[in-house]
Amino acid sequence: MNQKNHKSGFVNIIGNPNVGKSTLMNKLIGERLSIITSKAQTTRHRILGIVNDENHQIIFSDTPGIIQPNYNLQSSMMKFVKSAFQDADIFIYMVEMGEKMLKDQSFFERLKNTSIPILLLLNKIDKSNQKEVEACSEYWTELLPKAKIIPISALEGFGVEKILDEIKKILPEGIPFYPKDTLTDRPEKFFVSEIIREKILLNYQKEVPYSVEVVIESFKDDEKIIRIGAIIIVARETQKGIIIGHQGKPLKKVGTQARKDLEIFFGKKIFLELFVKVTKNWRDNNQDLKRFGYFI
Ligand code: GDP
Ligand code: MG
């Protein structure tokens, strides 16, 4: 590596819930680092995904969608978003076709006033036609004239190379922040709990998945099999019953789906045991939130 010609920096992805931030992150990294569902607030943490080539290290951050917090967990989620404002070399501001403005106007004002370069990604163009894309581009050019607008489809991977090319042009010169074989800052255990949480988001309705946290209690990597014990934390006794479900079948389904994804993720056989535990109102208890890895 020629250090003189090396570029590196932080590219922080922000935007409304559900616009496709995590989908893009995974496409960029080529790995499934962030969980994706059609539900808002799927992403709760700030997750780094790192793209390395000989002359570049691009450190992407996937963040929770911008919302007005109703409980402490959501306030903590917004702290991850705010932290993304502090160290960005480049912002990716993602919107979807037809969207008008951020859920939080003050974030948008900060974007307008920042001197940090912004790539405005117009996502989900696979659902639109050329005319709509043009109209949408014009709309955002007026609102945020300094941003470079790139229409993309994160889902189909359309425009992803263009994003990388643009970033490489404007990334600051500097030595890598992480070893060049690093993909993420998160330990394997984090992805195990996220994959399980994704299956909970997919299998349960209403408030229940939003009241769930997953803690990995044991992780034993034997030669041929990884043995994992995970605790599903809920906020109320009634939710425990819902998670376990009739004859334990719903929970079993979560276990089976998660195990299959984990086997792909680790390329190994997985033995997964799930337990359900009530930690009363953990979403508003700062002690619990800290324990689960949120900033207070
Ligand atoms: P996030 O909340 O911004 O991280 O959004 P996600 O990445 O979790 O995606 C939210 C939903 O939008 C999921 O159902 C995705 O499959 C879907 N989605 C993401 N990107 C695209 C896209 O380019 N086209 C279409 N049609 N759907 C997309
Ligand atoms: Mg997300």
C-alpha span between 210 and 165 (Å, rounded): 37
C-alpha span between 65 and 60 (Å, rounded): 15
Q: Which ligand is nearest to the CA of 156?
A: 1
Say how many Å lie between the CA of residue 180 and the centre of ligand 2: 25
pLDDT one-digit tens code per residue, 138-161: 999 999 999 999 999 999 999 999
The pLDDT, as a whole number, for residue 101 is 74
Within the chain, strands assigned E span 7-15, 47-53, 56-62, 90-96, 118-123, 148-151, 213-221, 225-234, 269-278
Overall size of the chain counted in residues: 296
Determine contact, residues 121/94, Cβ cutoff 8 Å. yes
Determine contact, residues 129/26, Cβ cutoff 8 Å. no
Nearest atom in ligand 1 to the alpha carbon of residue 158 is 23
pLDDT one-digit tens code per residue, 92-111: 999 999 888 777 788 889 89
Amino acid letter for position 246? H
What angle in degrees, to the nearest 10, is found between the helix axes of 188-203 and 249-266?
140
> Whose C-alpha lies nearest to ligand 1, atom 12?
20
Say how many Å lie between the CA of residue 248 and the centre of ligand 1: 31
Amino acid letter for position 201? L
Mean pLDDT for 118-147 is 96
Say how many Å lie between the CA of residue 149 and the centre of ligand 2: 21
The pLDDT, as a whole number, for residue 242 is 98
Pairing of strands 90-96, 56-62: unpaired
Count other Cβ atoms within 10 Å, centred on residue 142: 8
Q: Which ligand is nearest to the CA of 17?
A: 1
Mean pLDDT for 159-186 is 95
C-alpha span between 169 and 293 (Å, rounded): 35
Say how many Å lie between the CA of residue 155 and the centre of ligand 1: 7
What predicted TM-score, i.e. pTM, was given to this entire model? 0.92
- Neighbouring residues of the ion ligand 2, judged by CB less than 5 Å: 21-22, 43
The pLDDT, as a whole number, for residue 1 is 54
Ligand 1 lining (C-beta closer than 6 Å): 17-23, 36, 38, 42-43, 65, 123-124, 126-127, 153-155
Instruction: List Cβ neighbours of 195 (8 Å cut-off, separation of 6 or more).
Output: 35, 258, 261, 262, 265
The pLDDT, as a whole number, for residue 2 is 52
